[in-house]
Amino acid sequence: MSWVTTVVGSYSVSEGVRLLVNESIVSIPEWANLIWYNPIPSKVLIFHWLAIRNSIPVKDILFQRGIIQEGQNISCFWCFNSTETVNHLLLHCPWASLIWSDIMFWWNIRWVMPSSLVSFIQAWSSGMGIKAEMSRSY
């Protein structure tokens, strides 16, 4: 085996990274820049990334991995109405919806919750179609 992108034919991490960030090969979604290039705590960034990658250990994922066995309860801990998935827990559970509704109310924004966390991040990073004006008070 040889790595075809180098003259020597051997793989290096720096060569792999260079290949990944080359815009002609892989385009980085705008929402990924919103996550990784923000001055927020690294724990929040990692949680956010795991949530988007559907890797938070919610009951549905634990069931898929065989950690929760067939017949065990995989419904949401908060509402008991739906399967506990990342999208449900962070967006659609009545508890989460109430929090998001309050936030949007405080900001005087009316919108419909997107179906997935990725759609939410894309809408959030594009400003949700809202043009805000900064007001100055002196």
- Are 122 and 66 contained in the same domain? yes
The tally of domains found in the chain comes to 2
In a domain, 133, yes or no: no
In a domain, 4, yes or no: yes
81-91 pLDDT, tens digit each: 999 999 999 99
Q: Residue 19 in contact with residue 5, Cβ under 8 Å?
A: yes
CB atoms within 10 A of CB 131: 5
Tell the residue number behind the tokens 């994922």, with chain if given. 61
Taking the complete model, does pTM exceed 0.85, yes or no?
no
Assign residue 26 a region (left: φ > 0; alpha: ψ between -120 and 50; beta: otherwise): beta
Q: What is the pLDDT of residue 138?
A: 43
Q: What is the pLDDT of residue 26?
A: 54
What is the DSSP-derived secondary structure letter of residue 42?
H
- Are 61 and 82 contained in the same domain? yes
Residue-number span of the structural domain to which 93 is assigned: 38-126
- Are 93 and 74 contained in the same domain? yes
